[in-house]
């Protein structure tokens, strides 16, 4: 079937919470960076895409009901074209709070030395190449990363038709998503996971040297 929702929002805009929410709403698995961790065979697929060789998106994502977060969000244009009936979900947040969160999580870990584990090393190499080629070569620079973030969101808004685009901010909850997907609002709190502290604990960024 393939994704009913294509995520154009960058990492650290509530994408892990959205993954859980979309899985609850759509009854299937939402592709997210965590899927790459669990499926090492996907790493070379994304690496080739970063290098310019696109996969058969329909086949690659056939088992998923949505695709959000990096690396999928780096290919939002290609995925929007591959799945023309899917809603395009642009998750956003204030650029200053986004930078603070991204700098203390994904950008910090993306500057780490390659781990000795070959799978982990290939995962990190792919993520580094994706950020440099599909976001900005200077993702560790605050001003340039913020400029790239704002340019990205402006491009998505300018490209995707208004009747297809769903813009969502952390804190918006279920209502706008359910309205766009024509689904009932669940009688449960909207998920809220993967805070900066949780990310740093999970990835060992705060572990003693």
Give the pLDDT confidence score for residue 203 in this predicted structure: 57
Is the model's pLDDT at 206 over the cut of 80?
no
Is the distance from CB of 87 to CB of 17 less than 8 angstroms?
A: no
Q: How confident is the model at residue 112 (pLDDT cuts 50, 70, 90)?
A: confident
Range with lowest mean pLDDT among 25-39, 151-165, 181-195:
181-195
Predicted pLDDT at 21: 96
- Domains of the chain in start order, with CATH, are 5-203 (3.40.50.300)
Per-residue burial over 160-174, b = 16 or more CB atoms within 10 Å of its CB, e = otherwise: beeeebbbbebeeeb
> What is the band of 193 on the pLDDT scale with cuts at 50, 70, 90?
confident
* % of the chain exceeding 70 in pLDDT: 92
DSSP 8-state class, residue 40: T
Rounded average pLDDT over 158-183: 95
Provide the pLDDT for residue 131.
Answer: 97
Under the banding of pLDDT at 50, 70 and 90, the label for residue 113 is: confident
């Amino acid at each position: 079937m393939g994704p009913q929702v294509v995520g154009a929002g960058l990492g650290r805009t509530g994408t892990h919470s959205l993954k859980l929410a979309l899985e609850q709403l759509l009854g299937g698995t939402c592709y997210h960076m965590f899927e790459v961790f669990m499926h090492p065979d996907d790493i070379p697929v994304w690496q080739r895409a970063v290098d310019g060789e696109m996969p058969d998106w329909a086949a690659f994502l056939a088992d998923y009901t949505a695709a959000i977060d990096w690396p999928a969000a780096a290919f939002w244009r290609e995925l929007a074209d591959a799945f023309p009936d899917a809603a395009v979900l642009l998750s956003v947040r204030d650029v200053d709070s986004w930078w603070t969160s991204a700098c203390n999580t994904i950008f910090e870990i993306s500057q780490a030395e390659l781990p000795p584990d070959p799978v982990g090393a290939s995962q990190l190499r792919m993520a580094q190449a994706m950020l440099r080629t599909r976001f900005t070569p200077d993702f560790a620079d605050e001003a340039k990363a913020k400029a790239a973030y704002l340019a990205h969101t402006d491009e998505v808004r300018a490209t995707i038709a208004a009747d297809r685009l769903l813009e969502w901010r952390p804190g918006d909850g279920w209502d706008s998503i359910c309205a766009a997907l024509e689904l009932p609002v669940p009688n449960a709190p909207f998920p809220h996971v993967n805070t900066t502290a949780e990310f740093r604990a999970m990835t060992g960024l705060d572990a003693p040297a």
